[in-house]
Amino acid sequence: MSEIASMLVTHRTASIDEIERAWHGDVETILKWVMSQDRVEECAVLKTCNRVEVYVVAPRGEKVLFDLAKKARVSSRIIDFHDHDESLLHLLRLASGLESMIIGEDQILGQMKELTQIAMKAGTTGWMLETAFKKAIQVGKRVRKETRINERSVSVGSAAVDLAEEILGDLKGKSVLVIGAGETGELISRALLSREIGSLAVTNRTLSSAVCLAESLGGEAVPFDDMPRRLHTADVVISATSAPHYILLKSDIEMAMADRSNKLLIIDIANPRDVDQAAAEVSGVQLHNIDSLKNISRENMMQRMAEATRVEEIITEELQLLRAKYKRKEAEELLARLYSQAELIKDQEVRKAMNKLSARHTLGEIEQQVLCDMSRSIVNKILSEPTKSLKSAAERGDLEILKSLCELFRLEEKI
């Protein structure tokens, strides 16, 4: 029987470079390639900056995915393979924010919706995957409605944005420069977008990294050498590079503050520091470093972790309902084959009876209808109780009863 299987390359097992190299092409290209493989009946792909996840519906789906990984030359070292139940649990946890780099973050829910729509539009999904993703999105919404898992920042990067908002009162319309396009720089930039800032600029020593991040978020990539010019017009600067030395000296800040009346807020969350502490002496400049954020981030993480317990309870409850739905579907498909077989036998026997009666009497439409109705009623009544028992057994996960039914009635497709 075909079930859902998945293979995951995520931030938990792989570096960003390994994730980027894992699967080539856009989502549509990957979908088309996966669907072209033997035995794959449905497929969907979740591809973000922190994960590439491939879901299929197929007989022996994990084996199908293992073969796909070999063809794509993706190392099994960085892949997690999940069977049907593991895939369902992962999807619900993912939509709820428990599998994200930042626990409880909201962005993954929108990404799941978008990527599910892409798969549906491409015609690569069916009832199995659509049911799973629909339930996952529903659970993600419920979690955020009934818990506070997505409240307050939990990373140093997002805490820096919260601090900037707290100091300035509002980031709406502000010009923000993010220095550093690595993982932390990305988290900062994404957190800024929800604050309705006026403009976002990203700079990095490797310009291509800045371009990649800026384009994905609708911001502007600034060459590193042009950073002093952008400092002059920025309202907020958040720096998070891995440089072993200062990248902003007091003289750089003095030059940026020349001929401007508005203040400049600088938040340096690099370790070692990116900004010379002497820059705090420049008039109009307010400088904060990572020490200002540690307590904020730690307290917020503890709050989210406490909420995670309630999230797990919701997931357990909803997963049970989802599994029951698949089991009912399994029973319904088996019953459909049983009723189809019974219908063929009924029709054959009714025709025999009508032929025998027609040899002795003329059968009118009323008599023929009575025979048809009676035979249909007999079939339905005989199968009524077995139908209830089978559905109940399926929901309990009692596969022995389903197998026994196949053997007793010699149904062609085995479960």
5 with 82: CB under 8 angstroms?
A: yes
SS3 80: strand
* Three-state helix/strand/coil letters over 177-214: EEECCCHHHHHHHHHHHCCCCCEEEEEECCHHHHHHHH
Q: Dihedral angle at the C-alpha atoms of 17, 23, 28, 29, nearest 10 degrees?
A: 130
Q: 49: which 2 tokens?
A: 């900056």
Element (H, E) at 4: strand 3-10
Q: 66: which 2 tokens?
A: 């293992």
Omega prior to 272 cis, within 30 of 0: yes
Q: What are phi and psi of 105, to 5 degrees?
A: -65, 150
Encoded amino acid at 324, one letter: A
Active-site hit among 49, 212, 372, 406 = 49
Active site residue 212: no
CB-neighbour burial class of residue 223 (10 A; exposed 0-12, middle 13-18, buried 19+) = middle
Encoded amino acid at 177, one letter: L
CA–CA distance, 405 with 287 (Å, rounded to integer):
74
- Give Cβ neighbours of residue 13 (< 8 Å, ≥ 6 apart): 77, 78, 79, 80
CA–CA distance, 3 with 88 (Å, rounded to integer):
11
As a whole number of angstroms, the longest Cα–Cα distance in the chain is: 114
Residues with a catalytic annotation lie at 49
